[in-house]
Amino acid sequence: MLTWPHAATDWAAILEQAEQTYIEIGCQISLREKLLLVCQDQQHGKSVLDRLIENGADEDNLITAVAESDDTWARDHGPLSVISDGNLLIRDFQFNGWGGKYPAEQDNRITRTLNQAAVFGQTEVETVGFVLEGGAVETDGEGTFLGTRSSVLTETRNPGLSQSEVEALLTSKLGFDRFLWLDHGHLSGDDTDGHIDTLARFSDPETILYVTAYPDDPDYPSLKAMEQELMAFRTRSDQPYELVALPPITPQFSGDGRRLPASYANFLIINNAVLLPVYQDDNDQQAVSCLKGCFPDHDIIPIDCCTLIRQNGSLHCITMQLPAGIDFQS
């Protein structure tokens, strides 16, 4: 799922550059799986379809839907999915603009709007009265949750709830039975309070890839402390995780001097491929090699995401995967 940029989003000043990046990502996804495109209106949807097809997308895999949006971070306003007793379920958590930092009323309605239009076919959609962004959730696919306390256990999202109450809800709604909480890990320029999808990711149930920084980078102490936490975590079989350090990225800045949160951890796993955000950095090729070692059966496809980080996010942040089995309706 991609929520497409438009002139009323924060992309307005660089809309063409943003759309070019979305087109590249959308084409790569469509060549391997279905792609749901959330657009402002039917005219917008037709324009998006035309541009994707002109650039080589697989037309048969493109599905358009209409829902008004404040912005385009589908990872955080999109639906989360779970398989329970063999049944595919969609959970519509609440989204409040990362703790009230940005307008989010339209984004918070997107999944509900899509469901009302029967976009998800007969798949059951449950509204959950709990604020949770997809970028705050990482899992090994076997019931382990990996995340940061700073982006989930916050008074600006779910005031008054204890860690045990939050864990009980995540167990009930998403099936987690094991929780690994990080207290460290910070990227300058991040405005999500430390989403895990920019910091550490599973490649399999025993392996975690994680971001690093150069020793003279202000983020180095926090990321080094995160590394120590990851080293202390244990797998379900009580073994240390295999940890793969992603190469550091030279600090990147906007035109007005603002630090941008570039991260190689913000990759997207799709059918038979991994889309890796790269940043015109000397270590881009080393990052490709790292992922090739962790995903030997996948093509590693680098995508230039220098435009995306100008709005403080990257490749994984703008996408939301939905599992096979949903009968999408256009």
The string of pLDDT tens digits covering residues 11-49 is 999 999 999 999 999 999 999 999 999 999 999 999 999
DSSP 241: P
In this predicted structure, the answer to whether residue 100 has a pLDDT above a threshold of 90 is yes
Give the CATH number of domain 2-318; options: 3.75.10.10, 3.40.605.10, 3.40.50.300, 3.10.450.50: 3.75.10.10
What is the structure's pLDDT at 130?
98
Q: What percent of the chain has pLDDT over 90?
A: 98
Q: Measured between alpha carbons, how far is residue 242 from residues 185, 209, 227, 232, 296 in Å?
A: 18, 9, 12, 11, 16
Q: Give the pairing of strands 268-270 and 273-278.
A: antiparallel
What is the structure's pLDDT at 326?
94
pTM recorded for the entire structure: 0.98
Per-residue pLDDT tens over the stretch 262-307: 999 999 999 999 999 999 999 999 999 999 999 999 999 999 999 9
What is the structure's pLDDT at 86?
86
pLDDT band, residue 85 (cuts 50/70/90): confident
Question: Which of 328, 261, 325, 246 minimizes the C-alpha distance to 292?
Answer: 246
What is the structure's pLDDT at 245?
99
Q: Measured between alpha carbons, how far is residue 9 from residues 13, 21, 68, 71, 182 in Å?
A: 9, 15, 11, 5, 32
pLDDT band, residue 330 (cuts 50/70/90): confident
Average pLDDT over residues 188-206: 98
Per-residue pLDDT tens over the stretch 130-155: 999 999 999 999 999 999 999 999 99
| pLDDT, the chain, mean | 98
The residue among 2 and 324 whose pLDDT is bigger is: 2
What is the structure's pLDDT at 222?
99
pLDDT band, residue 75 (cuts 50/70/90): very high
pLDDT band, residue 73 (cuts 50/70/90): very high
What is the structure's pLDDT at 106?
99
Say whether 144 sits in a helix, a strand or coil: strand
Contact 266, 317 (CB under 8 A): yes
Q: What percent of the chain has pLDDT over 70?
A: 100
